[in-house]
Amino acid sequence: MIYKDINLQQEVYRQDVYKLMDWLRDEEVSRYLNEEKGIINSLDYLLRASTLPILTPYFNQGGPFYIIEYKKDSVGYLKLVPKGKIVEIVIAIGNREKWGQGIGSIALKKGISEAFLSYRANEIVAKIHHNNIRSKKIFRKAGFTIEDTLEVENLYSLTFDDYINGYSKERIS
C-alpha cells in the first residue's frame, strides 16, 4: 500500500453521496456504525433537493468530513467531530473489496494528523463496538488505548503527547 495513493478528499461530490448511500445499505459495512436510522432517506432527499455538484457544506456541519480516496476512487469516509480540545474521529471503509489492504490504517493516520495539527486537539477519541475487530486493530496500531468500557462499545483515546512521543500507555487487544 502506497501512502500517497490514499487521500482525504475535502470536497463531497454527488457521486460520493450515491456511493455513501450504497455503503450504508450494506449490512456488513453499517453494522458497527452509529449513523442515524433515517440517514439514507436524508441523503436521498439532499440529492433530490439540491442541484449543486458539490455538497460539502451539508456534510461539514458537525465538523470536517472527508471522503477517503484510494487511487482517485472513493472507498470510504472519515469525519472529525471537535468538542473543545477533544476531537472524536469516525472512519469507515465502505468499499468491502478494499478491506484488509491497509487503506483504513493510512486514512486514520492522516485523520489523526489533521485533528492534532490543524484542529489543535489535545486528545482524539473514538467509540468502537466491542465486536469490530478490524477497527480495534487499526486504532491500537495507531497508538490508541481504552479509556472507558461502555455497554456495546469501548471509548479509545490518543493524547497529543502520546502521538508526539510515538508510544501509548498500553496496547489494546
Angstrom distance (rounded) from CA 123 to CA 159: 4
Of the candidates 71, 69, 107, the one whose C-alpha atom is nearest the C-alpha of residue 89 is 107
What is residue 167's predicted lDDT score, i.e. its pLDDT? 53
| Residue 142 confidence (pLDDT) above 60 | yes
Q: Are strands 123-129 and 86-93 parallel, antiparallel or unpaired?
A: parallel
Question: Is residue 149 included in any domain, yes or no?
Answer: yes
The cell for 54 is 458539490
What is residue 169's predicted lDDT score, i.e. its pLDDT? 47
Mean local confidence (pLDDT), 48-72: 94
What is residue 1's predicted lDDT score, i.e. its pLDDT? 58
What total number of domains does the chain contain? 1
Range with lowest mean pLDDT among 1-10, 54-63, 112-121, 126-135: 1-10
| Residue 173 confidence (pLDDT) above 60 | no
- The type of residue at 135 is S
Q: Is 80 left (phi over 0), alpha (psi -120 to 50) or beta?
A: beta
* Model pLDDT for residues 63-115, shown as the tens digit of each residue: 999 999 999 999 999 999 999 999 999 999 999 999 999 999 999 999 999 99
Question: Is residue 46 included in any domain, yes or no?
Answer: yes
pLDDT tier for residue 37 given thresholds of 50, 70 and 90:
confident
Contact 107, 78 (CB under 8 A): yes
Domain carrying residue 74 = 3-165
- The type of residue at 93 is I
Q: Does residue 145 or residue 37 have the better pLDDT?
A: 145
| Residue 171 confidence (pLDDT) above 80 | no
Range with lowest mean pLDDT among 64-73, 137-146, 160-169: 160-169
Question: Is residue 80 included in any domain, yes or no?
Answer: yes
Q: What is the CATH number of the domain that holds 135?
A: 3.40.630.30
Question: Is residue 41 included in any domain, yes or no?
Answer: yes
Question: Is residue 49 included in any domain, yes or no?
Answer: yes
Question: Is residue 161 included in any domain, yes or no?
Answer: yes
* Model pLDDT for residues 9-31, shown as the tens digit of each residue: 999 999 999 999 999 999 888 88
Question: Is residue 171 included in any domain, yes or no?
Answer: no
What is residue 34's predicted lDDT score, i.e. its pLDDT? 76
What is residue 21's predicted lDDT score, i.e. its pLDDT? 94
Catalogue the E-assigned strands of the chain.
6-9, 65-70, 73-83, 86-93, 123-129, 145-149, 153-159
| Residue 134 confidence (pLDDT) above 60 | yes
Question: Is residue 97 included in any domain, yes or no?
Answer: yes
